[in-house]
Chain A
Amino acid sequence: MATNLTEYTVSEISGALKRTVENTFGLIKVRGEVSGFKRAASGHAYFCLKDQQSRLDAVSWRGSVQRWRLAVEDGLEVIATGRLTTYPGRSTYQMVVEQLEPAGAGAIMAMLEERRRRLAAEGLFEQARKRPLPFLPRVIGVVTSPTGAVIRDILHRLSDRFPRHVLLWPVLVQGEQAAQQITDAINGFSAMQPGGPVPRPDLLIVARGGGSIEDLMPFNEEMVVRAIAASSIPTICAVGHETDTSLADHAADRRAPTPTAAAEMAVPVRLELIERVAVLEGRIRSATVGQLQRRRTELERSARGLPDPRMLLGLATQRLDDLSERLRLRRPADVLRAKAERLEMLGRRLHELVSTLLRTEQRHLERTGARLVPTHILALVGRAEPMLADRGQRLERATRRRITDGQARLDTLGKLLDSLGYRQVLARGYALVRAPSGEVVSDVAAARAESRLNLVFHDGEIAVTTGGRARRSGAEEDEPVQGSLL
């Protein structure tokens, strides 16, 4: 029965096996625990993947190892991606691992949780350690990759909000060397002295874009977490997407969900500040003006309560006048005048006294005079009286005689006067011509000078109009007078 079996040489069967294995398992994923991990000087890595019952040798060439995103250590549960190959020279097979990833979130999360707890116990994540970010940093240090979207997003948003001086410290953000470079960059910024050749940032941003949990592993490395916690410069950490949280985020002063958000935390919006300052400027001006106006109103109101200064002045002036007057009375001239007035008054009183005295004396004299009896004089008069009566009769008779004589003479003269008086002449048919003024008009010339004339008859007078005026010359004398008389 074995006669029809194909007979292989060793090489033939080894080659056949190799082809079968490689064809069948050209691309596989194997889950297992890393064991016996060793890196050769060549850069290749040798280890085993094992589980409870089995083990599988594994090799990873240098180029692949450099692309790994995690620090591999024994005991790490991984998923290895690669192919199976045989090694005919030693009758062995092994897995050539291209990619190595932690085996599921659970495992890595457990590892990170353990690390977080340890660092938290040291106080690295204490809220009390966190410092406020500067309101307006002058220089911002950025630790991230010089290529890719992260740095562009940060610079773009900074430029939009408030253009600043940015110092980029370029680092790898994934791969084996990432953690060390990030650590060096943070420590490097932190060690800068103010006034040094490179301006010291007042704010740091440590950033990386989104990625798998393995991609973010450098930011969970202990050295990075410690560098951030120890930084002398306030630090914003922005690693991955919003849902990702690295240990570096816990250690930073602020955590930003994205690099763009980190830029927004880093600087205020310049235009808003300009607006705010302008508003404050307006407010301070109007508040001051308002205050001054209010004070002025208060002052005016208070001033209305004050007495009118002119009135005050008037009162003061009046008082001054009064005092001046009183002062003036004390002057020598005024004293003299006062004395003179008093002297005058005394003089008047003296005069009154003298008058009273005189009147008293007069009345006394009158009373004394009344008592005087003119007996001697009466006796003389009694003797003279008969003689006086005789003389009186003789005077009366003589006077009467003379009056009778005078009467007769007066009658004679009156008759004579009548015969000579013009009224007797008028009674004989003559008329007397008078001007209205009463002057006698005795000739034609005088008559012509008057427009009106009065003719006086013995029993009255009438007015006539001459019809001529004084304008007439003496050349035409007779006729108009006659006419107008008629």
Chain B
Amino acid sequence: MTGEGRPVTDTSMQELSFEAALGELEKLVQELERGQLDLDEAISAYERGTALKELCRQKLADAQMRVEKLSVNASGEARVEPFDPTR
């Protein structure tokens, strides 16, 4: 198995973007499916894959529509207020 500097701690995993997590998960699945990993590598790949899957789930669960309108005052400070396009 190629390590490819995979982050191992949970904090670094939380910083992974969804795309990176998904991409790594897909790579792990392919590696596992090729079946050429050692047994302990396969098990750690599975554990890491499960953690990545959970991270992806979290990021997918965070899906709330929030629309705000910016306004900039004379001194250039931006302010946000809720925006309803149907009004």
A contact set with B: CB distance below 8 Å:
134-136, 146, 151-152, 155, 158-159, 162-170, 184, 188, 192, 197-198, 270, 273-274, 276-277, 280-281, 283-285, 287-288, 290-292, 294-295
Bound form: Cα–Cα A165–B68 in Å: 8
Please pick, from B17, B39, B46, B85, the residue contacting A284 in the complex, using a CB distance under 8 A: B46
B residues 9-67 touching A (CB-CB < 8 Å): 17-19, 22, 25-26, 28-29, 32-33, 35, 37, 39, 42-43, 45-46, 49-50, 53, 56-57, 59-60, 63-67
Given the known interface contacts A166-B68, A277-B60, A290-B35, the answer about A146 and B78 at a Cβ–Cβ threshold of 8 Å is no
Is the CB–CB distance between A287 and B33 below 8 Å? yes
Among residues of B, the one whose C-beta sits closest to the C-beta of A170 is B69
CB distance from B87 to the nearest CB of A (A): 9
Is the CB–CB distance between B86 and A152 below 8 Å? yes
Bound form: Cα–Cα A270–B28 in Å: 22
Among residues of A, the one whose C-beta sits closest to the C-beta of B23 is A135
Given the known interface contacts A134-B17, A277-B56, A291-B42, the answer about A168 and B25 at a Cβ–Cβ threshold of 8 Å is no
Bound form: Cα–Cα A159–B85 in Å: 13
CB distance from A173 to the nearest CB of B (A): 15
B contact set with A: CB distance below 8 Å:
17-19, 22, 25-26, 28-29, 32-33, 35, 37, 39, 42-43, 45-46, 49-50, 53, 56-57, 59-60, 63-72, 78, 80, 83, 85-86
Which residues of the partner chain A approach B70 to less than 8 Å between Cβ atoms?
167-170, 188, 198
Is the CB–CB distance between A164 and B42 below 8 Å? no
Q: Which 8 A-B pairs have the closest CB atoms?
A: A135-B19, A163-B65, A287-B32, A288-B46, A284-B49, A136-B18, A165-B66, A287-B33
Which residues of the partner chain B approach A276 to less than 8 Å between Cβ atoms?
22
CB distance from A273 to the nearest CB of B (A): 6
Bound form: Cα–Cα A394–B71 in Å: 185
Is the CB–CB distance between B19 and A163 below 8 Å? no
Bound form: Cα–Cα A284–B27 in Å: 10
Which residues of the partner chain B approach A164 to less than 8 Å between Cβ atoms?
63, 65-66
Bound form: Cα–Cα A89–B56 in Å: 79
Which residues of the partner chain A approach B78 to less than 8 Å between Cβ atoms?
188, 192, 197-198
Which residues of the partner chain B approach A287 to less than 8 Å between Cβ atoms?
29, 32-33, 35
Which residues of the partner chain B approach A277 to less than 8 Å between Cβ atoms?
22, 25, 53, 56-57, 60
Please pick, from A169, A184, A284, the residue contacting B32 in the complex, using a CB distance under 8 A: A284
Please pick, from A163, A270, A284, the residue contacting B50 in the complex, using a CB distance under 8 A: A284
Given the known interface contacts A158-B65, A163-B65, the answer about A168 and B83 at a Cβ–Cβ threshold of 8 Å is yes
CB distance from A203 to the nearest CB of B (A): 13
Is the CB–CB distance between B53 and A281 below 8 Å? yes
Which residues of the partner chain B approach A284 to less than 8 Å between Cβ atoms?
25, 28-29, 32, 46, 49-50, 53
Which residues of the partner chain B approach A184 to less than 8 Å between Cβ atoms?
72
Does more than half of chain A's interface fall in helix, strand or loop, or is it mixed?
helix
Bound form: Cα–Cα A276–B25 in Å: 11
Please pick, from A162, A188, A198, A285, the residue contacting B63 in the complex, using a CB distance under 8 A: A162
Is the CB–CB distance between B80 and A135 below 8 Å? no
Bound form: Cα–Cα A136–B60 in Å: 10
Bound form: Cα–Cα A477–B53 in Å: 125
Please pick, from A136, A167, A292, the residue contacting B59 in the complex, using a CB distance under 8 A: A136
Bound form: Cα–Cα A167–B71 in Å: 10
Among residues of A, the one whose C-beta sits closest to the C-beta of B76 is A188
A-B pairs with beta carbons under 8 Å apart, 12 shown: A134-B19, A136-B17, A165-B66, A168-B68, A198-B70, A270-B63, A277-B56, A281-B50, A281-B53, A287-B35, A288-B43, A291-B42
Is the CB–CB distance between A288 and B63 below 8 Å? no
Is the CB–CB distance between A136 and B19 below 8 Å? yes
Bound form: Cα–Cα A197–B73 in Å: 14
Which residues of the partner chain B approach A170 to less than 8 Å between Cβ atoms?
69-71
Bound form: Cα–Cα A329–B33 in Å: 63
Which residues of the partner chain B approach A294 to less than 8 Å between Cβ atoms?
35
A-B contacts besides A284-B32, A295-B39, 19 pairs, CB < 8 Å: A151-B85, A155-B65, A155-B67, A162-B63, A163-B65, A164-B63, A164-B65, A166-B67, A168-B83, A198-B78, A273-B18, A277-B56, A281-B53, A283-B32, A284-B50, A288-B42, A288-B45, A291-B37, A294-B35
Which residues of the partner chain A approach B22 to less than 8 Å between Cβ atoms?
135, 273, 276-277, 280
Which residues of the partner chain A approach B50 to less than 8 Å between Cβ atoms?
281, 284
Residue of B49, B69, B70, B83 most packed against chain A (CB within 10 A): B70
Which residues of the partner chain A approach B35 to less than 8 Å between Cβ atoms?
287, 290-291, 294
Is the CB–CB distance between B17 and A167 below 8 Å? no
Is the CB–CB distance between A163 and B63 below 8 Å? yes
Is the CB–CB distance between A163 and B57 below 8 Å? no
Bound form: Cα–Cα A290–B49 in Å: 16
Among residues of B, the one whose C-beta sits closest to the C-beta of A149 is B85
Is the CB–CB distance between B33 and A283 below 8 Å? yes
Bound form: Cα–Cα A163–B78 in Å: 23
Bound form: Cα–Cα A197–B28 in Å: 39
